[in-house]
Chain A
Amino acid sequence: MEKFNFFAGATIGAWLLVVLVILAELVGPFKDALKAIFWHHWIGKGILVLLAFLIAGFWFKNKERLLGKPVEKLAWQSCLASLAIILLFYVIEFVL
């Protein structure tokens, strides 16, 4: 029995980061709330992603599949997608 599922933690952390980045840029009050709670929105994102990584890692410790996919494959695809979406989002936001 696994004690911690690193793949599940990375998957949830990667997607939460994408959501936080987009929400903070598009919804002013959300960014303000992150600042009010964590002093800076970047610290807020970092702490929330870390918490998501830890909680998901323990929560899904016995799961080998998530959303019908092997969890390792899902983690790999999620990390790559997260990196690409973050870059694309900032490019699109700058161009528009």
Chain B
Amino acid sequence: MVCPILRTSPFFFAVAYQPHLVGVPRAWLPSTLINQFSVLFDGFMRDLALIIHVLLGIAVIVLPVWILLQLKKPGKWVKPAAILAAAAAWVLIIPAGILYLLFYPATKTLILAGNWPWAHQIAMETKEHWGLLLPLIATVAASLVAQNKLAESKKWWKLTILLSLAIAILGRIVSTGGNA
């Protein structure tokens, strides 16, 4: 076991992937140790991507809710919040892609071999493709706020919130499917 502080340190990353950068020739390290470091590094990367994914997902729900609450008496922060919500929806694709493309295939194998194969074939496939539409919808909503068409933007923000919640629920179904 490696202590959590060491696991999250740049030194640990360096040893895991480029040991010579910290003065440790790769040949000096037993292959089992390198494998262990790689596994821990992958685990850390997955956790980091997951945390960023969840935080951005929350932002894409909380910001539109806040914007909707502000629309009756819009203050100076409504436009920046709208742009931030749309930006979060676009950036969200990066951790989502890392999780889906690099770490999900192992879970997918478990799901397809388990009792809930539909958790991948319906929930995950739908979730990942709905996720590609989310930034477009949030951008349309933000563009309306930017043009001072606040009333027209309401239904687009509501759709952004509902879609984000639906994607989160589908994500929960997928992770439950991995254990079924």
Contacts and interface: CB of A to CB of B under 8 A. Distances in A.
Interface in A43-80: 43, 45-46, 49, 53, 72, 75-76, 79-80
B125 interface: yes
Contact of A43 (B101, B125, B129, B156): B101
B122 interface: yes
B122 A75 contact: no
A76 B137 CA distance: 9
Contact of A17 (B93, B132, B163): B132
B150 to A, nearest CB: 14
B152 A87 contact: no
Interface residues of A, number: 29
Interface residues of B, number: 26
A83 interface: yes
Interface in B115-143: 117-118, 121-122, 125-126, 128-130, 132-133, 136-137, 139-140, 143
A4 B139 CA distance: 12
Contacts of A75: 140
Contacts of A13: 133, 136
B129 A53 contact: no
Interface in A1-57: 4, 6-7, 9-10, 13-14, 17, 21, 40, 42-43, 45-46, 49, 53
A94 B126 contact: no
Interface string B67-110: 00000000000000000000000000100010011000000000
B137 A90 contact: no
Interface of B: 93, 97, 100-101, 117-118, 121-122, 125-126, 128-130, 132-133, 136-137, 139-140, 143-144, 152, 155-156, 159, 163
17 contacts: A4-B143, A17-B129, A17-B132, A40-B101, A42-B129, A46-B97, A46-B132, A49-B132, A72-B152, A79-B137, A82-B133, A86-B126, A86-B130, A90-B125, A90-B126, A94-B121, A94-B122
